[in-house]
Amino acid sequence: MSDNAKLIYDGQEYEFPVVTGSENESAIDIAKLRGSTGLITLDPGFKNTGSTSSAITFLDGEEGILRYRGYRIEDLAEKSSFLEVAYLLIYGELPNQSEYENFTKEITHHTLVHEDIKKILEGFPSNSHPMGVLSSLICALTAFYPDSLVPNRSEEEINLSIVRLIAKMPTFAAWAYKNEVGHPVNYPDNQLDYCSNFLKMMFALPAEKYDADPVVASALDKLLILHADHEQNCSTSTVRVVGSSQASIYASISAGINALWGPLHGGANQSVIEMLEAIKADGGDAKKYLDKAKDKNDPFRLMGFGHRVYKNFDPRAKIIKKAADEVLGKLGVNDPVLDIAKELEYAALNDQYFIDRKLYPNVDFYSGIIYRALGIPTEMFTVMFALGRLPGWIAQWKEMRENGEPIGRPRQVYVGANEREYVSMNKR
Ligand code: MLT
């Protein structure tokens, strides 16, 4: 295959290098396109645009493959822990025993947050969506650690910010929920593992004893691994673009949380359960809703099916489906909404319309179901996604910085008015 791609435009021929990644994906390097031809590319949604070369996550949507730093997601979900995967994503290699112990110790040590954070939290109305609260509290870290605003910080200083983020995120997430339900916040318990500590901060009440269920904690750990990175998705691209302006790591991650919030991205898991609730309220007829989804004139949209890059089963969805079945069995959960989900899944997987369009249930379909079974309230689903995605965002931010990537600055094709004379107010 040629190492160059040719473009013929306005009678002239131009050549552009073709770069090939370690998994043989090829891309035309158009860095010199505008300089040599005067043209730019137009690609709304960046579906055909590689914004970076990255060594973190590989995915093949046609084959249904997902790997972090070369390790299969199936192996990591089965054999690893969330903090081990976080280390892998951020530092590039699986930690050895002492690296893992140090990393875990550092994170445990930094779980507590400044008392003044509580004052910020108290300023939010109690019906605030926890995603908005979470992104605000993460951004507020710029005020508590103003050194993070300095662009050229040492590796040691960056690592401290990274540890603080991973350590404090569960505290903020649980507090965002406590604010919503009007309960007093719980402080972290450093005797507990990452997920049990989060569950305790989220669910413990002053009047009752609380011990996190190990089945729930372990299922949550697996879910966080499955969400930990997904190459250049909307929120990750946001983190990289915001970070490319040399904004603080906390501001960049806060921006990523906001991007994740939308129903077309991380907010989809919440939309799935809301859709299932609506189907239940309407009599629970899954078949009727499949027909509505197929009807072009019906505004109903089947949430949790299909994916922008997977044209095969999302490998994460396969693992979550299995985990969901196990957890539901172990916890003895009996929930009519989950029964509707199963019916919908079965009907869609056997319906030619969905088969032809490769509309498989995706990660958001099953994660909503399992979070519900674990007792996580619906409005916290996207927060759980953010908790899982944090190491991926951090790894991508760090890589962008280490690569010395330029500020993200796409161009446009202007289609507005041509130059015209200003018209004074009394003449309009
Ligand atoms: C993700 O995990 O970020 C979602 O599946 C969305 C995506 O990759 O575009």
Q: Could you identify the residue written with the tokens 């009047």?
A: 207
147 is catalytic: no
CA-CA distance, 267 to 385, in Å (whole number)?
9
pLDDT (tens digit, 9 = 90+) per residue, 13-48? 999 999 999 999 999 999 999 999 999 999 999 999
Ligand 1 atom closest to Cα of residue 236? 3
Nearby residues of 395 by Cβ (< 8 Å), 6 or more positions away = 56, 89, 90, 229
Residue 316 Cβ inside 6 Å of ligand 1? The answer reads: no
- pLDDT category at 273 given cuts 50, 70, 90 is very high
pLDDT band at 402 (very low <50, low <70, confident <90, very high): very high
Burial 88-127 (b: 16+ CB within 10 A, else e): bbbbeebbeeeeeeebbebbbebbebeeebeeebeebeee
Q: Taking residues 316-327, report their average pLDDT.
A: 88
Report, as an integer, the average pLDDT of 304-326. Answer: 89
Q: What is the whole-number distance in angstroms between the Cα of residue 233 and the centre of ligand 1?
A: 5
Share of the chain above pLDDT 70, in %: 100
pLDDT band per the 50, 70, 90 thresholds, residue 327: confident
Nearest to 383 by CA among 199, 186, 125, 131: 131
Centre of ligand 1 to C-alpha 189, Å, is 32
308 lines ligand 1 (CB under 6 A): yes
Per cent of the chain over pLDDT 90 is 85
> How many Cβ atoms sit within 10 Å of the Cβ of residue 135?
23
Q: What pLDDT band is residue 329 in, cutting at 50, 70 and 90?
A: confident
Of the residues 147, 307, 325, 356, only one is catalytic, namely 307
Which pLDDT value is given to residue 132? 98
* Token duo for residue 253: 């991650």
Check if the beta carbon of residue 366 is closer than 8 Å to that of residue 320.
Answer: yes
Q: Which of 257-271, 312-326, 339-353 has the highest mean pLDDT?
A: 257-271
Q: Is the dihedral of CA 234, 235, 238, 243 positive or negative?
A: negative
What is the atom index within ligand 1 of the atom nearest the CA of 307?
A: 5
The closest residue, in CA terms, to atom 8 on ligand 1 is 233
The more confidently predicted of residues 331 and 412 is 412
Ligand 1 pocket test, pick from 73, 261, 308 with the greatest ligand atom count within 8 Å of Cβ, gives: 308
Give the residue carrying structure tokens 């822990």: 81
Per-residue model confidence (pLDDT) at position 321: 86
Q: Is the pLDDT of residue 2 over 70?
A: no
Spatial distance between the Cα atoms of 173 and 167, rounded to a whole number of angstroms: 11
Residue 70: count of CB within 10 angstroms of its CB: 13
- CA 267 from centroid of its chain's CA atoms: 10
Residues 6+ apart with CB under 8 A from 297: none
Q: How far is 343 from 356, CA to CA, in rounded Å?
A: 19
What are the phi and psi torsion angles at 324 (to 5°)? -60, -45
Give residue 324's pLDDT: 84
Tokens of 195: 């997920």
Q: How far is the CA of 314 from the centre of ligand 1 (A)?
A: 10
Burial class (CB in 10 A: 0-12, 13-18, 19+), 248: buried
- Mean pLDDT score across all residues of the chain: 95
Model confidence pLDDT, tens digit, residues 217-249: 999 999 999 999 999 999 999 999 999 999 999
Task: State pTM to two decimals.
Answer: 0.95
Measured from the CB, is residue 367 less than 6 Å from ligand 1? no
Mean pLDDT (whole number) for 46-69:
96
Q: What is the pLDDT of residue 108?
A: 98
Confidence of residue 325 (pLDDT cuts 50, 70, 90): confident
**Ligand 1 center to residue 230 CA distance, Å?**
6
pLDDT tens for residues 242-270? 999 999 999 999 999 999 999 999 999 99
Tell me, yes or no, if 307 is annotated catalytic.
Answer: yes
Burial class of residue 58 in the structure, from the number of CB atoms within 10 Å of its CB (0-12 exposed, 13-18 middle, 19+ buried): middle
pLDDT of residue 1: 57
Q: Return the SS3 of 17.
A: strand
Task: Establish whether residue 230 lines the binding site of ligand 1, counting it when its CB lies within 6 angstroms of any ligand atom.
Answer: yes
Q: How many CB atoms lie within 10 A of CB 227?
A: 25
- Please, what is the Cα angle at 118 between 112 and 122, to 5 degrees? 155
Query: Which of 47, 65, 230 has most ligand 1 atoms within 8 Å of CB, for mutation?
Result: 230
pLDDT in tens, 173-211: 999 999 999 999 999 999 999 999 999 999 999 999 999
Which of 232, 234, 389, 396 for a ligand 1 pocket mutation test, highest count of atoms within 8 Å of Cβ? 234
